[in-house]
Structure 1
Amino acid sequence: MSEQNSRKKDNLLHNTKLYIDILSTQWPIVYSPDYNISFLGLEKLHPFDSGKWGKIVYFLKEEKMINDESIVKAQEAQEDDLLVVHSKRYLNKLKNHFLEGLQEWSFIVATITEILPVAFLPNFIIQRKVLRPFRTQTGGTIMAGKLAIDRGWAINVGGGFHHCSSEQGGGFCAYADITLAIKFLFERVEAVSTAMIIDLDAHQGNGHERDFMDDNRVYIMDVFNRYIYPGDGFAKLRAGTGGYMTGSNLLAGAIKWKIELDWDTEDSEYLQKVETLMSKALQEVTPDIIVYNAGTDILDGDQLGGLAISPQGIIKRDQAVFEAAQKHKIPILMVTSGGYQRSTARIIADSILNLHRLQLIDQRVL
């Protein structure tokens, strides 16, 4: 008997507030104002727009697609939820770090957020101003996983913390929301036994790749700039034996299908590679759910992504992924992940509006 079925059989699953049923009048779009990060102006020391999630929702409301009643309010992931993937040891690292036994400081969180002055703030401030927003976005991703199965699609306006694994955060990612959403589905939804992660953020998704290194139920497609953070060679390796066929090449690794891009890759090359690889991947396996990490740091001019994709290229990319999911009748969960320019919120909103216009997402209950 698998560990998953054993836990179900023995009723060992913890009680969670994240798996809820929603009204038929609601969109499976998850958001909370608590996603947005603002504390003493320190958030401006990182290029990430820490208020972009609220801006996305504002633009969608402005276009009359949604309102406060029609979207799903995200709930904060609690410690028992996080323990589905993370260890107590890791979670305690985020809570307390002592300097000379006198004061709780926040060195671990400073490293994860890449904002060094955070190290000198008391941890209780960091819990409220930084980690709580991350936990709420993580709860949103877990919630959206269930809604994707219920409705055929779901979007978490936040999330996509793909650099965090069960034991280590980094790259502005403190909790492994993608891993958590998939593990919740494996444990709680009988119809879900396989998953595909399509990670199209500009950076390698090393967190979920490490977490699923030995789990053949999860197939990872990753398209990223080969020259930038995190450069995690270990996450490209797969413990144990075997590999997965990509065309004529046997690809061993936690990443089952990958493309490593060069600097300044533009729309035509990028879209052709993404669509070709996605077609091959979905010919080889039909997962029970797709988790789509839709980073916008591929945008031309992004100082951390190093690629040269236009706003229209991002919209076409998202459309292609949703079209593939619809063609193969696979539920899809989208998270918004990285994007380090002020224009990315508008682009994400425009992409969601485009999906709606094309009826790739709608409000109907399946």
Structure 2
Amino acid sequence: MLSIAWAPLYAHPLPENHRFPMLKYELLPEQLLREGIVSEASFFVPTPPPEAEILRTHAVAYYQRLLAGQLTRQEERATGFPWSEQLIEREVTILGGTIECALRALQHGIALNIAGGTHHAFADRGEGFCLLNDQAIAANYLLAHEPGVGKILIVDLDVHQGNGTAALFRHQPRVFTFSMHGARNYPHRKEQSDLDLPLADGTDDATYLRLLGDTLPRLLDEVQPDFVFYLAGVDVLATDKLGHLGLTREGCRQRDQLVLRLCQQHRLPVVVCMGGGYSVRIADIVEAHANTFRLAAELFG
């Protein structure tokens, strides 16, 4: 049975450009249940972790100001969110879900978070709808508490570079960061991951899958990770308003299949977080994300 973290939406007004894609967090569980891919028992509501676990990754001063609502107007604009206590509560709950998913993946091979992938959050600041970096926090948690996890691979296939994640682990040899993203997309100032693969606008299924298929198996052999975090953003779709790549839903599904099958074949525990998705039709977003969960159930169920 799959383990899926799900944090209910908070009651707080959101910017117009983010309100629509937030619907996926409610619609996706409904879709999975309707199809019988999962049952109610698959879902768990995560709990916030101890503050000390967050502060392994984020600066004390930044986190305290975030909790107190003391970000400057410029800092708040950079996050894209109007501050509220509910917003911070949900953000902390989501990252708690990624930690809990990591522990469940160690037991069952895979766990998924219906949220997460907040890869634009740095140690001392948030950007791009990301306040706290959930996969980085969970990676540091595993390194601190799980002796069997000595090396972690972060596979970031969101259309945007994981700049916060790259910066956080720049000097951490136990975490290898791999980001495959749109070359001309946000963020305009890229950080340096351990491996970056920038893609031209309009990159199609065949080109994308060939590049990923040539790269990821080699990385698994070279890095020899004990654990994988996978950021499965569906903003790579040609229908995405912000993505600029040219993948079809089938190409996106084959991408997920490639990653998850390799993790299964190498017996690597993997946590999957949803990341971005901003297609014009909400059905395109939900269906592409649902494919990730269908494959997880098929391969690990």
Q: Which TM-score tier does this pair reach, normalised by the shorter chain?
A: over 0.9
Of the three residues 166, 185, 190, the one matched with 2:142 is 185
Equivalent AA in structure 2 for residue 107 of structure 1: R
Give 1:97 shift.
Answer: 5.5
Tell me whether 1:87 sits opposite 2:28 in the alignment.
no
Structure 2 CA distance for aligned equivalents of residues 66 and 322 of structure 1? 18
Structure 2 CA distance for aligned equivalents of residues 80 and 218 of structure 1? 20
For residues 118-129 of structure 1, the aligned pairs below 5 Å read 118=82, 126-128=84-86
Of the three residues 196, 221, 225, the one matched with 2:153 is 196
Give 1:350 shift.
Answer: 2.6
Higher Rg: 1
Give 1:165 shift.
Answer: 1.7
- Answer whether contact 2:67 2:88 (CA < 8 A) is retained: no
Tell me whether 1:337 sits opposite 2:275 in the alignment.
yes
Give 1:189 shift.
Answer: 0.7
Give 1:181 shift.
Answer: 0.5
- Answer whether contact 1:224 1:260 (CA < 8 A) is retained: yes
Of the three residues 249, 255, 264, the one matched with 1:326 is 264
- Answer whether contact 2:166 2:194 (CA < 8 A) is retained: no
Residues 259, 292 of structure 1: CA spacing in aligned structure 2 closer, same or farther, 3 A cutoff?
Answer: same
For residues 70-109 of structure 1, the aligned pairs below 5 Å read 70-96=42-68, 107=73
Structure 1 match to 2:76: 110
* 1:72-124 superposed Cα distances (whole Å, 9 cap, x missing partner): 221134533322211220112223456xxxxxx87366324425xx3xxxx5x
- Answer whether contact 1:37 1:43 (CA < 8 A) is retained: no
Tell me whether 1:279 sits opposite 2:217 in the alignment.
yes
SS in 1 for 2:120: coil
Residues 272, 223 of structure 1: CA spacing in aligned structure 2 closer, same or farther, 3 A cutoff?
Answer: same
Tell me whether 1:39 sits opposite 2:12 in the alignment.
yes
For residues 159-178 of structure 1, the aligned pairs below 5 Å read 159-178=116-135
Structure 2 match to 1:151: 108
- Answer whether contact 1:294 1:335 (CA < 8 A) is retained: yes
Q: Which runs of no fewer than 5 residues in structure 1 stay unpaired?
A: 1-25, 99-104, 237-254
Structure 2 CA distance for aligned equivalents of residues 350 and 356 of structure 1? 10
SS in 1 for 2:22: coil
Structure 2 match to 1:351: 292
Give me the identity figure in percent. 28
SS in 2 for 1:46: helix
- Answer whether contact 2:201 2:245 (CA < 8 A) is retained: yes
- Answer whether contact 1:52 1:345 (CA < 8 A) is retained: yes
Residues 96, 29 of structure 1: CA spacing in aligned structure 2 closer, same or farther, 3 A cutoff?
Answer: closer
* 1:108-143 superposed Cα distances (whole Å, 9 cap, x missing partner): 66324425xx3xxxx5xx111x22221111111111
Give 1:338 shift.
Answer: 0.9
Aligned alpha-carbon RMSD (Å): 1.9
Structure 2 match to 1:215: 172
Structure 2 match to 1:142: 99
Give 1:32 shift.
Answer: 2.5
Structure 2 match to 1:361: 300
